[in-house]
C-alpha cells in the first residue's frame, strides 16, 4: 500500500510554506516576463522543474501568446518633483501590462488612468490590462481624492515586446503512467493568498512526494492564469488522456474554512475523494458545484477536455474583502491555515493512491478474527471503529467495492479502512483484485 507519510509536523510545514510566500511576495509577477521567471527559479531550487518558453504570437487553442511585459520603474510626480504614486513602494500601483508612458498632464487627464476602491479607500486595487493595450495606476481612494490640481509627470518604464510566455512543470514518475495534475497560477504580483499560497502549497507537496513510492505519476503546473493552462492544454494533447484526477490550488492560506469546487463531471473520483476527506476533517467546510468561472479549472473542464479537475481552496476568489487588493498580504494568510490545507491535500492524495478493491478470501460466514489476532482487544482505544472497519471490509470485499466505497458506506474515515485492509491482508484474509482500477 502507498505510504504518503501522513504523520506531519504541521508547525514546521506551515512556517516553511509561509517563509516561501514571504520570499516570493516582493516580486512583480505578470503573465509573462522576468517576474514569473524569477518565481519559477525559486521553485526550481526546491523541486525538479522543467521550464518552457513559448514565443509571443504562437497560436494556442483560440488564443495567442501575448507580447512579453517587463517593468523597471513607474511613478507619478507632482510639479515639485515628489513621487505621489511610486511603483517602488508597491507593485500593485501599476496596472499590470501597462504600456510605456512618459509625459506631463493635468489632473483631469491623469484621472482617466487612475483606479481606486471607493468602498475600501485605504487599499490599492489589483488591476491588469493583459489583452487590451493601455496604461494606468492603482491607488488608495483616499489619496486619489486628495490629489491637488497640478501638472503631473507620469512615467511607466515598461516594455511590451515580442518575447516569451514562461511556465514550469514538475513531473514525478510513479508506477503508473496515469497522472494526477496539480495546477496553480503564478501571475499575480504582491498578493499572498490568491496565487502565492497556492504556489507554496504545490511546491511543498511536490517536495513531500518526490522521495516517496507513488502509484500515480504527478504533474505540477506552475503557469500564468488562463493563458498558461490554455498554452499547456494546446501543447499536451498526448498527455491529457493520462490525467485521471486533478486539483487547482489557490487561496489556501486564509483563515476561512475549506471550500471544494467540484469538477464539471461532479461525481469523478477526485470529487468523491475530496468530499470524503472534508466530511471527516472535523471542521466546517463547503462543497459547491462546478461553474465556468474562477481559475484554470475553467480551461481543464472546458467541454473539449472535460478533465476531472476540481479546486480545493479555503475562501474562494472574490468572496473575501481583501481579494485582489493590497490587503491580500502577509498579514492575511496564516502558517497554520497553509499547513491545514496541505494536510487536506495530502489526505486526498492518500485516498487516490490507495483506493482499490479487494477480495475476501473467506467469504462464507465471518472468518474467526480472534484466532488470527485480528479481533481488537476489549477496551483498547478505537476498538469499535477498528472492528467495524474490519467487518465492513470483509463484508463488502467482493471485488466490486473499493476502499472508498466501503469507507463511505461504513461512515468511517478512509485511513481507518485502509489500515484495516492492511491488517486483513497481513492476516491472509484479503487479496487485491488483480489490476483493480480506480473505480
Ligand atoms: Zn486573482
pLDDT exceeds cutoff 90 at 357: yes
pLDDT of residue 376: 83
Q: Are 155 and 93 in contact (CB under 8 A)?
A: no
Of the two residues 17 and 380, the one the predictor is more confident about is 17
For the chain, the distance separating the N- and C-terminal CA atoms, rounded to the nearest angstrom, is 17
- What is the CATH topology of the domain spanning 10-66+164-354? Aminopeptidase (3.40.630)
Span from the CA of 186 to the centroid of ligand 1 (angstroms): 10
Span from the CA of 98 to the centroid of ligand 1 (angstroms): 17
Span from the CA of 196 to the centroid of ligand 1 (angstroms): 10
Span from the CA of 92 to the centroid of ligand 1 (angstroms): 13
Which cell goes with 141? Answer: 481612494
Span from the CA of 141 to the centroid of ligand 1 (angstroms): 21
Span from the CA of 29 to the centroid of ligand 1 (angstroms): 12
pLDDT exceeds cutoff 70 at 49: yes
Span from the CA of 188 to the centroid of ligand 1 (angstroms): 7
Average pLDDT, integer, range 173-182: 97
pLDDT digits (tens, 9 = 90+) for 213-269: 999 999 999 999 999 999 999 999 999 999 999 999 999 999 999 999 999 999 999
Separation in Å, CA 226 to CA 167, 209, 302: 12, 27, 12
Q: Where are the domains of the chain?
A: 10-66+164-354, 68-161, 357-432
pLDDT exceeds cutoff 60 at 439: no
Span from the CA of 195 to the centroid of ligand 1 (angstroms): 7
Span from the CA of 27 to the centroid of ligand 1 (angstroms): 16
The residues near 228 (Cβ < 8 Å, ≥ 6 apart) are 31, 165, 167, 185, 186, 187, 221, 296
Span from the CA of 317 to the centroid of ligand 1 (angstroms): 7
pLDDT exceeds cutoff 70 at 438: no
Look at 277-291, 322-336, 369-383 and tell me which has the smallest mean pLDDT: 369-383
Of 206, 201, 205, whose CA–CA distance to 337 is shortest?
Answer: 201
CATH superfamily of 68-161: Domain of unknown function DUF2172 (3.50.30.90)
Average pLDDT, integer, range 84-91: 98
Span from the CA of 129 to the centroid of ligand 1 (angstroms): 13
Span from the CA of 425 to the centroid of ligand 1 (angstroms): 47
Span from the CA of 257 to the centroid of ligand 1 (angstroms): 19
Look at 135-149, 221-235, 423-437 and tell me which has the smallest mean pLDDT: 423-437
Span from the CA of 185 to the centroid of ligand 1 (angstroms): 9
Span from the CA of 194 to the centroid of ligand 1 (angstroms): 5
Separation in Å, CA 260 to CA 94, 96, 286, 354, 375: 33, 29, 6, 21, 37
Span from the CA of 393 to the centroid of ligand 1 (angstroms): 44
Span from the CA of 294 to the centroid of ligand 1 (angstroms): 9
pLDDT of residue 384: 85
Of the two residues 434 and 89, the one the predictor is more confident about is 89
Span from the CA of 437 to the centroid of ligand 1 (angstroms): 37
Buried b (16+ CB within 10 A) or exposed e, 68-104: bbbbeebbbbbeeeebbbbbeebbbbbbbbbeebeee
Pairing assessment for the beta strands 357-360 and 114-115 based on DSSP bridges: unpaired
| CATH code reported for the domain at 357-432 | 1.10.10.10
Span from the CA of 75 to the centroid of ligand 1 (angstroms): 24
Span from the CA of 376 to the centroid of ligand 1 (angstroms): 51
Span from the CA of 211 to the centroid of ligand 1 (angstroms): 32
pLDDT of residue 434: 74
Span from the CA of 33 to the centroid of ligand 1 (angstroms): 18
Amino acid at each position: 500500500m502507498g505510504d504518503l507519510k501522513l504523520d506531519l509536523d504541521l508547525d514546521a510545514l506551515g512556517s516553511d510554506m509561509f517563509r516561501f510566500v514571504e520570499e516570493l511576495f516582493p516580486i512583480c509577477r505578470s503573465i509573462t516576463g522576468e517576474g514569473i521567471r524569477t518565481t519559477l527559479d525559486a521553485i526550481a531550487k526546491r523541486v525538479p522543474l522543467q521550464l518552457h518558453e513559448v514565443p509571443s504570437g504562437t497560436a494556442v487553442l483560440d488564443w495567442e501568446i501575448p507580447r512579453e511585459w517587463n517593468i523597471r520603474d513607474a511613478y507619478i510626480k507632482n510639479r515639485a518633483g515628489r513621487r505621489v504614486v511610486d511603483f517602488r513602494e508597491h507593485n500593485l500601483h501599476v496596472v499590470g501590462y501597462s504600456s510605456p508612458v512618459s509625459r506631463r498632464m493635468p489632473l483631469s487627464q491623469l484621472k482617466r488612468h487612475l483606479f481606486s476602491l471607493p468602498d475600501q479607500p485605504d487599499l490599492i486595487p489589483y488591476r491588469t490590462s493583459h489583452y487590451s493595450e493601455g496604461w494606468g495606476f492603482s491607488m488608495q481612494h483616499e489619496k486619489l481624492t486628495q490629489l491637488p490640481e497640478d501638472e503631473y509627470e507620469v512615467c511607466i518604464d515598461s516594455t511590451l515586446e515580442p518575447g516569451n510566455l514562461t511556465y514550469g512543470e514538475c513531473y514525478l514518475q510513479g508506477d503508473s503512467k496515469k497522472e494526477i495534475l496539480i495546477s496553480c497560477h503564478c501571475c499575480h504580483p504582491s498578493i499572498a493568498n490568491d496565487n502565492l499560497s497556492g504556489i507554496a502549497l504545490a511546491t511543498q507537496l511536490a517536495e513531500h512526494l518526490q522521495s516517496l513510492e507513488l502509484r500515480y505519476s504527478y504533474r505540477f503546473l506552475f503557469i500564468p492564469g488562463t493563458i498558461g493552462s490554455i498554452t499547456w492544454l494546446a501543447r499536451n494533447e498526448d498527455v491529457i488522456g493520462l490525467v485521471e484526477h486533478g486539483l487547482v490550488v489557490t487561496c489556501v492560506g486564509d483563515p476561512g474554512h475549506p471550500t471544494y469546487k467540484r469538477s464539471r463531471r461532479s461525481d469523478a473520483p477526485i470529487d468523491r475523494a475530496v468530499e470524503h476527506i472534508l466530511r471527516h476533517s472535523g471542521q466546517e467546510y463547503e462543497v459547491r458545484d462546478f461553474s465556468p468561472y474562477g481559475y484554470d479549472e475553467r480551461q481543464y473542464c472546458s467541454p473539449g477536455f472535460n478533465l476531472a479537475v476540481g479546486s480545493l481552496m479555503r475562501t474562494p476568489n472574490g468572496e473575501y474583502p481583501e481579494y485582489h487588493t493590497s490587503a491580500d498580504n502577509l498579514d492575511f494568510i496564516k502558517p497554520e491555515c497553509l499547513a491545514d490545507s496541505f494536510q487536506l491535500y495530502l489526505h486526498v492524495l492518500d485516498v487516490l493512491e490507495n483506493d482499490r478493491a479487494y477480495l475476501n478470501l473467506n467469504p462464507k460466514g465471518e472468518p474467526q478474527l480472534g484466532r488470527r489476532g485480528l479481533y481488537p482487544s476489549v477496551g483498547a482505544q478505537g476498538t469499535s471503529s477498528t472492528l467495524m472497519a474490519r467487518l465492513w471490509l470483509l463484508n463488502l470485499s467482493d471485488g466490486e467495492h473499493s476502499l472508498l466505497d466501503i469507507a463511505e458506506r461504513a461512515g468511517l474515515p478512509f485511513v481507518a479502512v485502509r489500515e484495516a485492509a492492511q491488517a486483513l491482508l497481513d492476516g491472509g484474509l484479503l487479496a487485491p483484485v488483480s489490476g483493480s482500477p480506480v473505480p
